[in-house]
Amino acid sequence: MEVVIRPADELAVLAADAVARQLRECDDTVLGLATGSSPLPVYAELVRRHRVEGLSFAGARAFLLDEYVGLPAGHPESYREVIRRELTDLVDIPDHRVHGPDGHGADIATAGVRYDAAIRAAGGVDVQLLGIGTDGHVAFNEPGSSLASRTRVKTLTEQTRQDNARFFDSIDDVPHHVLTQGLGTILEARHLVLLATGEHKADAVAAMVEGPVSAFCPASVLQTHPHVTVLLDDAAASGL
């Protein structure tokens, strides 16, 4: 695990470098995209590079980490819409090459299996962007998640619903269920790039980097991956 501690504005540039390098090296790059607020500066930097430097996503495919269950298609806070708004509608990746777990289809029970099969059929994820929840969750793998889990339905903890309530009119509007890539699924990506900023992430970051590998802190499983870059500002690194 490579841990890089830099001012917040530099972290987005470093993460964008990893994505841009991969896009330049490989025409049919498979990107793993995260939502939450942590990756937003990375997407802004990638959009800037697309506009100013001509960085192209035309041959790329992208897979989202997770999705709320039960939000209607097109809901502004569905992760599929968030990623369109923040990145994919602003660069040259064709919309049909951007995939997310199907959180509003009729067959939620098998949606995870189908999603993992689609990632595998695409050749696996080359660069996976990640954030971390205040309770150490990755994607929506809450504490207690199997470290070998596959994409499946999960129930959100009250903490995560409260953390994410800022994106909705009220906490009552935050869904209780999600479809999330499993930790085992995420670990199959070839390069994991995790961003965390702010003191509220310090405990989770310390448990991820220095704690035991344990389902109590799902992010700690990243210690077992051969190529992980953890990008932190001083505040997020303050527990190390």
> 50, 75, 104, 137: which one is catalytic?
137
Nearest to 134 by CA among 66, 217, 211: 217
Q: How far is CA 222 from CA 9, 140, 158, 197, 218, in A?
A: 24, 15, 24, 18, 8
Is there binding between residue 139 and ligand GLP (CB under 6 A)?
yes
CA within 13 Å, CB half, 185: 29
> 45, 142, 163, 233: which one is catalytic?
142
Q: How far is CA 68 from CA 46, 73, 123, in A?
A: 25, 11, 25
Q: Which region among 19-27, 47-55, 128-136, 218-226 touches ligand GLP (by CB under 6 A)?
A: 128-136
> 86, 116, 135, 233: which one is catalytic?
135
Out of 32, 112, 133, 143, point to the residue binding ligand GLP (CB under 6 A). 133
Least Å distance, CB 123 to ligand GLP, is 23
Establish whether 234 is a catalytic residue. Answer: no
Residue placing its CB nearer to ligand GLP in the complex, 63 or 140: 140
Contact 160, 142 (CB under 8 A): yes
Is there binding between residue 55 and ligand GLP (CB under 6 A)?
no
Out of 10, 37, 74, 158, point to the residue binding ligand GLP (CB under 6 A). 37
Contact 2, 230 (CB under 8 A): yes
Tell me the residue type at 183: L
Q: Which region among 15-23, 24-32, 102-110, 132-140 touches ligand GLP (by CB under 6 A)?
A: 132-140
Out of 32, 101, 103, 131, point to the residue binding ligand GLP (CB under 6 A). 131
Residue placing its CB nearer to ligand GLP in the complex, 27 or 158: 158
Establish whether 92 is a catalytic residue. Answer: no
Establish whether 142 is a catalytic residue. Answer: yes
Residues touching ligand GLP: how many (CB under 6 A)? 14
Is there binding between residue 35 and ligand GLP (CB under 6 A)?
yes
CA gap 237, 240 in Å, rounded: 6
CA gap 226, 1 in Å, rounded: 7
CA dihedral 12, 13, 15, 20 (to 10 degrees): 140
Establish whether 137 is a catalytic residue. Answer: yes
Phi, psi (rounded to 5 degrees) for 73:
-55, 135
Binding interface with ligand GLP (CB under 6 A): 34-38, 65-66, 131-133, 139-140, 160, 164
Residue positions annotated with a catalytic role: 66, 135, 137, 142
